[in-house]
Structure 1
Amino acid sequence: MTSSSQSSTSPGPSTATYDDFQKLDIRVGTIVEAAPFPEARKPALKLVIDFGGDIGRRKSSAQITRNYEPEGLVGRQVLAVVNFPPRQIGPMISEVLTLGVPDAAGEVMLISPDRAVPDGGRLY
């Protein structure tokens, strides 16, 4: 068996339909504020992301302290799920789920468009 094939004992990801994907509202927004979030259980930053238009500014708690400093995030565009229910994270309500992928050490790297796009654009 090659390294790219799956073992019969290791289940792959569950199958999703296109309708499942359509239920997720993933938008691009620009980080307008970023600050340490010492009240969170795990190291995190508080983000305010501007999605423009009808969505406006939303707050997010992001566990991205290993790869990012707050001052380097302002002005950066990121992708986030904007239609999950808000979650209480310590004293803050996190309104969106900021998306990322793990680096080689398993630490979060934010997902961003490779060039500037209008805030509020939906992933498709």
Structure 2
Amino acid sequence: MQWQIRTDNTISINLQIDDIFLLRFVNKIQNPAIKNFLVFQHTKLHEDMQKIWLSELHNIMELSRSDARKHYLKGNKLPKDLQLREQVLSELADRYLDKHHLNWFLMKDLEALLELALSTKSVIHCVSN
């Protein structure tokens, strides 16, 4: 998957077979508008819908981490040091996603992209090869 910042006000989403891991999370998506277009290819979204899309993707990432925490921590508390905490969460999520045959590196790329997009309010274009 390649990601790039766009200059116009639409986001183009083209889901291919290599993006199929996203579809695993369709049932976790709350917003019906996102649910409806997620299964279609070549979808263009305007700025207001992009915010919902990015927000929902962010929620998906959080749910994945939450699942990993529940599955592997089993009641243990996370360390207070932020860097150590992030490392533990990443390792736990890595083990969880690996077990469930998901692409962790793609997930991390999505997370980084979402953080960039949300922090800069940028418009993102996704091209799937």
> Would you say same fold, with TM above 0.5?
no
Q: Which has the higher contact order (CA 8 A, sep 6+)?
A: 2
Relative to total residues, which structure has the larger strand share, 1 or 2? 1
Relative to total residues, which structure has the larger helix share, 1 or 2? 2
TM-score by length of 2: 0.26
TM-score by length of 1: 0.27
Larger Rg: 1
